[in-house]
Amino acid sequence: MPKTVNQSIKPLNTTRNNLGNLEISGCDTVELARKYGTPLYVMDEVTLRQIAKEYKNAFSSYKKTNMMYASKALMTSQIAKILHEEGFGFDVVSGGEIYTIHNAKVDMNFATFNGNNKTKDEIETALKLNIGRISVDNFLEVKMLDEEAKKQNKIQKILLRITPGIECHTHKYIQTGHLDSKFGFDLTQIDEVINLIKNECSNLEIKGLHAHIGSQIFETKVYYDEIGVLIKELKRINTTHNLNLDEINAGGGLGITYIATDCPPSVDTIANTIITSIKDHCKKYDVEEPVLYIEPGRSIVGTAGVTLYTIGSNKQVPNGRKYIAVDGGMADNPRPSMYEAKYYAEIANYKNNKNMEKVTVAGRFCESGDILIKDIELNDPRTGDILCVYNTGAYGYSMSSNYNRVLKPAMILVNNSQSDIIIKRETYEQLVQNDVLK
């Protein structure tokens, strides 16, 4: 049995009902598809709240922990509201994410603005809304931020994002902590940026350091090592520059179980690793234990989400694969095309047989690479069946597009046999509303 939600393929309370249909939190997925149409993003509130509680409990022994949800994984007003209720702050990376959490009545003091190329307008908005921390990524941003803080007559608290030189075993596009990265200051640049801030930027207050080592991580030692780098550098900075930095942001990145062979560590294991590393390295370097920020994203929303599709055409390649096509694909979930991501799926509607067939699930978009799942065993897949793809809560909707001018799907929230729309299905009128005819 999974210890924490991120180790499960399916949302909690996923079962077959007395009709034989897949059901999530008392909601029949076949009925959901009929009522709301497909493709359809489905988020389970029970699973979402449970993983949030698991994170809070796992880090509860370290009283200086602040849980920050990495909004890029999935950001809607309702998701923000739920996680704020569960005691989470927010890591945001754009003006849109900032506006969304503000719209959800989140206390902006519990938000950190991150990103490698923040615009002037975004910085202005963040300061006007009194964002708690800004994770500064480069020299240009230091100057832009100080200039805007002066205009608004504010002292802005900042973290310095660093590249800790730690390379984890994940897809190269989602590694962020190695030296050859677009993110953050190299450790050799830290003294220069601190001197710049101390001598020229009177409206910035450095509080600590921020690092992020990647995403979909299954290792534990990388977190132990990352904390060691942060605390060692914190000690060096405080000694060298006569400062009192006392915050570290270790990012997120914990993996989830997409398919049966995935074995991510539990939230408890990661928490124990991080807390142990803090205590070990604080003792080693003789420093006070710092305030800790953790930024899980995928592991918060990934397992809580599924996507429902309707199966359309099929094609048997002579002496080759059989393809079944669904009414969505790379525009509502680009991860398989971008990262060769793998997913597990099931036929949601009842089948009175067990005629398992190996097929490849293709999307509807005009790209040969629009393949959602290669070579999966499905029970007698036929035109009109509903396909449920698991673990799509993270980076499905948030990376979606209008490729081929296809409308973006709706998203619903299910809980206690009830379903509610939290993102409306896009209409053709909305699709062209920003077009200009001359």
Q: Which residues are catalytic?
A: 366
103-129 exposure pattern, b = at least 16 Cβ within 10 A, e = fewer? ebebebebbbbbbeebeeebbbbbbeb
E-assigned strands of 173-317?
Answer: 185-186, 204-210, 247-249, 291-294, 305-316
Question: Strand 65-70 and strand 40-44: pairing?
Answer: unpaired
Compute the distance between CA of residue 352 and CA of residue 21 in angstroms, rounded to an integer. 11
Q: Report the C-alpha gap between 348 and 134 in whole angstroms.
A: 44
Between CA 231 and CA 234 the distance in angstroms is 5
Amino acid at 14: T
Beta-bridge partner residues of 28: 23
Do the beta carbons of residue 98 and residue 117 sit within 8 Å? no
User: Are the beta carbons of 246 and 225 closer than 8 angstroms?
Assistant: no
Closest CA to 310 of 349, 341, 357: 349
Q: d(Cα 224, Cα 247) in Å, to the nearest integer?
A: 16
Which DSSP letter does residue 186 get? Answer: E
Tokens of 64: 């200086």
d(CA 270, CA 296): 11
φ, ψ of residue 147 to 5 degrees: the values are -60, -45
Inter-residue contact 50 to 42 (CB < 8 Å): no
Q: How many CB atoms within 10 Å of residue 433?
A: 8
User: Is residue 264 within 8 Å of residue 307, measured between CB atoms?
Assistant: no
